[in-house]
Amino acid sequence: MKRKDVRVKVSKFFVFIFFLAFLGAIIKLLYVAISTDVDGKDLKVFAETRNTVKKTLYAGRGNIYDIKGEILAQNVNSYTLIAYINPKRTTDARYPKHVVDKEATAKALEEVLGIDYDFALNQLNLNGYQVQFGIKGNSIMENKKKELEALNLPGLDFIAGNQRYYKKSRAGAYIIGYAKTQDNGEIVGEMGIESYYNEILKGTDGYTEYQRDAYGYQMGDAIVKEPVSGNDIYLTLDSQIQLILEEATRVLEDENEFTWYTFSVMDAKTGAIVGSTSSPNYNPNTLEGLTNYVNPLVGYTYEPGSTMKIFSWLAAMEAGIYNGEDTFMSGSKKVADATIYDFNTRGWGTINYDTGFVYSSNVAASNLALELGSTKLREFYESLGFGSRTGIELPGEESGIIRLTYETELASASFGQGITTTPIQNLQALSILTNDGVMLKPYIVDKIVDQNGNITYQGGKKELGQKVSSDSIKKINKLMYDVVYHGLTGKSWQPENVVMSGKTGTAQIASPKGGYLTGNRNYVRSFAGVFPYDNPKYIIYASVKQIDNSNSLAKVVTKAVESIANYANITSVASELDDSKVISLKNYLSSDVNLTSEALKAQNLEPIVLGNGNYIINQYPLAKSEVLKGSKVFLLTDSNDYVMPNIKGWTTNEVLSFCNMIGLKYTFSNMGVVNEFSIPPGDKIDLTKTLNVTLDPA
């Protein structure tokens, strides 16, 4: 059969449409080829980054240690508690995924985390999908997380994170400061050493970078730049002295009302700050109690009062105008248009200037200052660092004000009114008393160590020059001894186990309306002292504002000095100490408990074994510490089962060592030696409970 020739006629209209579409595509391709911006996108950037993933690898933050290597701050895993409250989250009633029993859950959160029951219940009764529980529901440690998980409460969950952990809690909080985890995961120091040395502590971040395909899978090997961990910082703080100061603060808080309080201790021969506390204080783990961001040691400026007489008397001695046997009429003195009064406004009649110092006479101080003149007194004060920052390694240091223009200002400055100083300035100036007139620069950092163990910075003693002659120092030290032992304060500033010299201060508080506040509480009371008197090892400075019982400061300071003297084995002067009674402790870590106990007993030491483990994981005092025969040595074993020892007769310092080694919370009534305590000897210790201790003065 003959095939027909079939021809398809194509409409000219469709040909034209096809041609236009083809032409548009060509134009679009040409535009893309020559353009860097299409539909609002930079094609060059898009091409370079569309398949690249880059993630930051945060460096490990360095640890902060005390002078003996005890950790004060470190990074730890932490968790934020959340509760799912929407019933729709549960699909099978046999396996609930939301909070079912709100009352039981709230009670558990109160018992385990200390969250207020009513607050927790209120959160659980909110509308929504999930809730959190404020400060106490954040930064939860691993042990508390496990404790909650063991209760099998439905609806509770945890968000893992990383945070800074402060092992000693409030102890030294304003010195150490705190660091906060930011939204991006970076930890940044915001106060204290954490802030001052943030760049050194945080290290150098790294990164990982790789290409991925359209489905999100990695293509090829990743480029990795490893992070470099931050350096570790060792402070001059001694944790045991710090804990003694913290306990003194707690006793003061329990027995008194006051506005603020500071108490610091400095090594008399080096300038190292070995302890510093204040109240109000805060918990750097939770920031609970943080209302003041100023470190009192360096940031509080106030009129110091009569502790300045130490330096105005020295100024007169150095100028050659002082004769302690010269006499004056005490009680009051007219200066320009003002009248200067002694605290005993009627005075003690005609007395000499040595007695004037011991009795803390403002009239005597004014007489000396007016004879000396404003230029010389100002220059002397400034030579000791008043009016300038010391440069200690802490943020927020203030300089204070030395103003001596008018006669009345000159007179009042001689007894510490009308000028302002900081605690750290007073400690620096007091160092001349213990170094034969040479002033030392105070410091808080002992050393900085990188992650390879190399010391990148070494702190230490720094002399700031001879400020006062040896003869003047001997004279003022004798006068300060007489203040404590022959003055008007009786025995209130006399520690029982060490000889201490010092000077009290009572300064009026300036009124915002001009002049000074009135009333028995409106004073800043202070004390500057050194001990032991014959060969000083420590300098102390304490001050309190608006306390309702002025005798309380003397009580807590002297008891703390006694504990420090016991701890440092300086209850006797060096010439009287029998070297045969001093024992240098060995390192007992990883040693057998029974063998170590026998070895200590053979040296006439008293081992206190904590736990029923076989090996020692910690000891106190630490290795190489020197202790006297008869001293207790605490041995922490590889066991969490602790039995309560009989602590009757133990000192405050010994109880502190015991409680802190096992993590037992405590409350003290008074200071001294133990009379009663709440956990019976031989009972298993529950670390969630608190040991209540009643002490009697030794």
| Catalytic positions | 306
Query: Which residue in the block uniquely carries the two structure tokens 């409030």?
Result: 170
Show the 3-state SS of 389-415: CCCCCCCCCCCCECCCCCHHHHHHHCC
The maximal CA–CA distance of the chain, rounded, in angstroms, is 155
E strands along 257-371, which residues? Answer: 260-267, 273-279, 327-329, 332-335, 338-341, 350-352
Helix, strand, coil: what percent of the chain each, to 5? 30, 25, 40
- Confirm if 665 and 633 have CB atoms less than 8 A apart: no
- Confirm if 511 and 522 have CB atoms less than 8 A apart: no
Question: Mapping DSSP to helix (H, G, I), strand (E, B) and coil, where does residue 22 land?
Answer: helix
Give the span between the Cα atoms of 480 and 533, in whole angstroms: 10
**Cα distance from N-terminal residue to C-terminal residue, the chain:** 134
Give the span between the Cα atoms of 138 and 147, in whole angstroms: 15
Phi, psi of 446 (to 5 degrees): -80, -45
- Confirm if 256 and 548 have CB atoms less than 8 A apart: yes
- Confirm if 330 and 346 have CB atoms less than 8 A apart: no
- Confirm if 105 and 124 have CB atoms less than 8 A apart: yes
Residue 341: Cβ within 10 Å count: 15
Question: Mapping DSSP to helix (H, G, I), strand (E, B) and coil, where does residue 493 land?
Answer: coil
Give the span between the Cα atoms of 477 and 530, in whole angstroms: 9
Phi, psi of 696 (to 5 degrees): -110, 145
Alpha carbon of 429 to those of 380, 384, 402, 459, 540: distances in Å? Answer: 11, 5, 14, 20, 12
What DSSP assignment string belongs to 123-183? HHTSSSSEE--TGGGSSB-HHHHHHHHTTT-TTEEEEEEEEEEETTTTTTHHHH--EEE-T
Give the span between the Cα atoms of 134 and 127, in whole angstroms: 17
What are the CB-based long-range contacts (under 8 Å, 24+) for 383-388? 383/467, 384/311, 384/428, 384/429, 384/432, 384/439, 384/467, 385/425, 385/428, 385/429, 385/439, 385/464, 386/311, 386/419, 386/421, 386/425, 386/429
Indicate the helix (H) or strand (E) that contains 33.
Answer: helix 12-34
From the list 582, 536, 525, 544, the residue with the least C-alpha distance to 561 is: 536
Give the span between the Cα atoms of 150 and 550, in whole angstroms: 50
Angle between helices 102-113 and 142-149 (to 10 degrees): 150
From the list 505, 538, 564, 323, the residue with the least C-alpha distance to 433 is: 538
Alpha carbon of 16 to those of 9, 11, 25, 27, 552: distances in Å? Answer: 14, 9, 15, 17, 104
